[in-house]
Amino acid sequence: MTDASFRTPAQWYDGHNAVRHEGEAIWSEEETLLLAGATGTMEVPFADLEWGENRGGENVYRRRSQPDFRLMVPEDLPPGLASRLPARATYGAWVDNLGLPKAVALFAIVSAAAVTLFMTAPEWLGPRVPESWERQMGDAMIGDFGGRLCSTREGDAAMAKLLDAVDPEREQVRANVANIDMVNAVALPGGRVLLFDGLVQDAETPEELAGVLGHEVGHVRERHVMTALLRQFGLSILLAGADSGFGDTLFGVAQMGYSRDAEREADAYSRARMAESNVSPLGAAKFFERLGGDSEEGDTNGITGWIASHPAPGERARAYREAAKGKTFAPVLTPAEFKAIKSMCEQDPDVEEFEFF
| 268-278 pLDDT, tens digit each | 999 999 999 99
- pLDDT on residue 141: 73
Q: Which of 21, 55, 58, 60 is nearest to 40 (CA)?
A: 21
Q: Which of 157, 163, 190, 184 is nearest to 175 (CA)?
A: 163
pTM for the predicted model, two decimal places? 0.60
Q: Does position 214 have pLDDT exceeding 60, yes or no?
A: yes
Q: Does position 218 have pLDDT exceeding 80, yes or no?
A: yes
Confidence of residue 212 (pLDDT cuts 50, 70, 90): very high
- pLDDT on residue 118: 45
Confidence of residue 295 (pLDDT cuts 50, 70, 90): very low
Q: Count CB-CB contacts under 10 A for residue 330.
A: 8
pLDDT digits (tens, 9 = 90+) for 221-230: 888 877 777 7
Per the CB < 8 A criterion, the answer to whether 279 and 329 are in contact is: yes
Q: Count CB-CB contacts under 10 A for residue 318.
A: 16
Q: Which of 61-65, 87-91, 232-236, 298-302 has the highest mean pLDDT?
A: 61-65
Average pLDDT over residues 298-324: 65
- pLDDT on residue 306: 46
Q: Which of 353, 332, 337, 333 is nearest to 153 (CA)?
A: 337
- Give the residue with greater pLDDT, 169 vs 158: 158
Per the CB < 8 A criterion, the answer to whether 50 and 64 are in contact is: yes
For residues 188 and 65, what is the distance between their CA atoms, to the nearest angstrom? 57
pLDDT digits (tens, 9 = 90+) for 187-198: 888 888 999 999
pLDDT digits (tens, 9 = 90+) for 125-147: 555 566 666 677 777 777 767 68
272 Cβ contact partners less than 8 Å away, ≥ 6 residues apart: none
Lowest mean pLDDT among 41-50, 255-264, 294-303: 294-303
For residues 149 and 130, what is the distance between their CA atoms, to the nearest angstrom? 26
* Mean pLDDT rounded to a whole number for the chain: 79
- pLDDT on residue 312: 67
CA 322 to chain centre: 36
- pLDDT on residue 104: 61
- pLDDT on residue 115: 45
What are the DSSP calls for 274-286, one per residue?
Answer: HHHTT--THHHHH
- pLDDT on residue 107: 60
- pLDDT on residue 337: 97
Question: Is beta strand 21-27 parallel, antiparallel or unpaired with respect to 149-150?
Answer: unpaired
- pLDDT on residue 45: 92
Q: Does position 64 have pLDDT exceeding 70, yes or no?
A: yes
Q: Which of 67, 56, 71 is nearest to 26 (CA)?
A: 71
